[in-house]
């Protein structure tokens, strides 16, 4: 199989990458929009879409130049079609379809969640490889779910968030503490200087049956505690202890829910080797990663966490998902439309892209 160009524009990262058919990365670039959104304390969809429109043409030209390829040398073009912010999805998917049409190449519609799910299968990324089936824990600003990855296009959702995603909770608590946006990395740095036991925040869903998550109540508990200090009364040491207490609560919840998911996975696939793959921006948090390492050891699972650059939104995973779908003869026969909602479970239908609910 020839090289595949991947395009990612589902949120606030504009990214392009070219992979060989064997999965080796020929070139990969990401243009951050952080400075554009920081003054607003979060992603503004219209600003994101306009930034994708401005950045993507030059980014694709650069990545093709670094790869040393012409568009005619490509096997296919893969782009994220959903889920995500509709404006950015339209820009990226339409641009990708235009490139494919002009070059006479195939276009592959990629589900953003499937791209995360399949990243672990990039050759050489996981020791001993990531053969199907394996368990995925996706924890990011927009998604929080446990999924049994049973094959390309075959996913069984074991549980997900009932309200906020873990990364969203990090960003909102960081904002409460005056840390700005994006808040996750800043909150982790602040938590490292605090005492996690001073504030004992609730651990929603801890020990419950199933594999679902909830972070809204935890976020509210932090907000109420911050409000209790009164305007301007929150000292730096208080903020550090609050951050540490919040992070400890999220750590405990994620480890507990991952443990429940691992046990459910074993029940579904008895006798199969256990592998837990963690993806999404929250996977970069060292405290959470250490808790998941301990949980997997106790359950007899291997833990695989891709490099941070491949955990967050990127085009390498999109190109790789395109390659996987081409190999499995699951590329779309018709040009799809961008869609903000596209659950992984919908991909179980193997007749190509379809609208769904």
Q: What is the pLDDT of residues 167-196, one digit of tens each?
A: 999 999 999 999 988 889 999 999 999 999
Angle at 250 (CA atoms; ends 119, 243), nearest 5 degrees: 115
Q: Is the pLDDT of residue 352 over 80?
A: no
Q: How far is 318 from 72, CA to CA, in rounded Å?
A: 19
**Tokens at 86, concatenated:** 């509709």
- Reduced to 3 states (helix: H, G, I; strand: E, B; else coil), residue 332 is coil
Q: What is the pLDDT of residue 349?
A: 52
| CATH 3.30.420.40 residue window(s) in the chain | 4-118+310-348, 133-305
Is residue 105 within 8 Å of 75, Cβ to Cβ? yes
Q: Is the pLDDT of residue 252 over 60?
A: yes
**Tokens at 159, concatenated:** 């549980």
Torsions phi, psi of 17, nearest 5?
-155, 155
For 174, the enclosing helix (H) or strand (E) is: helix 166-176
Q: In 161-294, which ranges are E strands?
A: 275-279
Q: Which residue has the tokens 């018709």?
A: 334
Task: Give 161's DSSP letter.
Answer: B
Q: What is the pLDDT of residue 348?
A: 62
Cβ-based burial of 72 (10 A; exposed 0-12, middle 13-18, buried ≥19):
exposed
pLDDT cut 70: percent of the chain above it: 96
Residue 228 C-beta-side C-alpha neighbours within 13 Å: 10
pTM for the complete prediction? 0.92
**Domain 133-305: top CATH class:** alpha beta
Q: How far is 235 from 21, CA to CA, in rounded Å?
A: 54
Count CB atoms within 10 A of the CB of residue 231.
Answer: 6
CATH number of the structural domain 4-118+310-348: 3.30.420.40
pLDDT tens-digit map of 45-93: 999 999 999 999 999 999 999 999 999 999 999 999 999 999 999 999 9
Count CB atoms within 10 A of the CB of residue 288.
Answer: 26
Q: What is the pLDDT of residue 345?
A: 80
**Tokens at 204, concatenated:** 């929603």
């Amino acid at each position: 199989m020839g090289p595949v160009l991947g395009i990612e524009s589902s949120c606030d990262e504009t990214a392009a990458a070219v992979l060989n058919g064997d999965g080796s990365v020929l070139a990969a670039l990401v243009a951050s929009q952080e400075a554009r959104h920081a003054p607003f304390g979060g992603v503004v969809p219209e600003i994101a879409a306009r930034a994708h429109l401005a950045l993507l043409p030059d980014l694709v030209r650069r990545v093709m130049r670094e790869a040393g390829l012409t568009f005619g040398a490509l096997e296919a073009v893969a782009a994220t079609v959903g889920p995500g912010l509709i404006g950015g999805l339209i820009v990226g998917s339409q641009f990708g379809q235009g490139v494919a049409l002009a070059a006479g190449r195939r276009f592959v519609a990629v589900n953003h969640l499937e791209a995360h799910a399949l990243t672990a299968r990039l050759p050489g990324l996981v020791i001993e490889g990531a053969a199907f089936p394996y368990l995925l824990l996706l924890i990011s600003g927009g998604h929080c779910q446990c999924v049994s990855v049973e094959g390309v296009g075959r996913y069984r959702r074991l549980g997900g968030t009932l309200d906020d995603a873990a990364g969203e909770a990090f960003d909102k608590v960081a904002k409460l503490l005056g840390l700005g946006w994006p808040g996750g990395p800043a909150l982790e740095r602040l938590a490292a200087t605090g005492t996690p036991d001073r504030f004992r925040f609730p651990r929603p869903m801890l020990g419950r049956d199933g594999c679902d998550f909830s972070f809204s109540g935890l976020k509210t508990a932090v907000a109420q505690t911050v409000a209790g200090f009164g305007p301007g009364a929150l000292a730096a040491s208080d903020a550090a202890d609050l951050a540490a207490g919040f992070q400890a609560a999220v750590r405990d919840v994620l480890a507990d829910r991952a443990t429940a998911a691992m046990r459910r996975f074993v029940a579904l696939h008895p006798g199969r080797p256990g592998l837990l793959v963690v993806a999404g921006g929250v996977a970069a948090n060292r405290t959470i990663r250490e808790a998941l390492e301990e949980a997997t050891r106790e359950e007899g699972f291997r833990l695989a966490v891709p490099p941070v650059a491949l955990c967050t939104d990127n085009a390498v995973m999109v190109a790789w998902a395109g390659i996987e779908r081409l190999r499995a003869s699951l590329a779309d026969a018709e040009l799809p439309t961008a869609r903000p909602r596209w659950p992984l479970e919908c991909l179980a239908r193997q007749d190509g892209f379809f609208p769904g609910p």
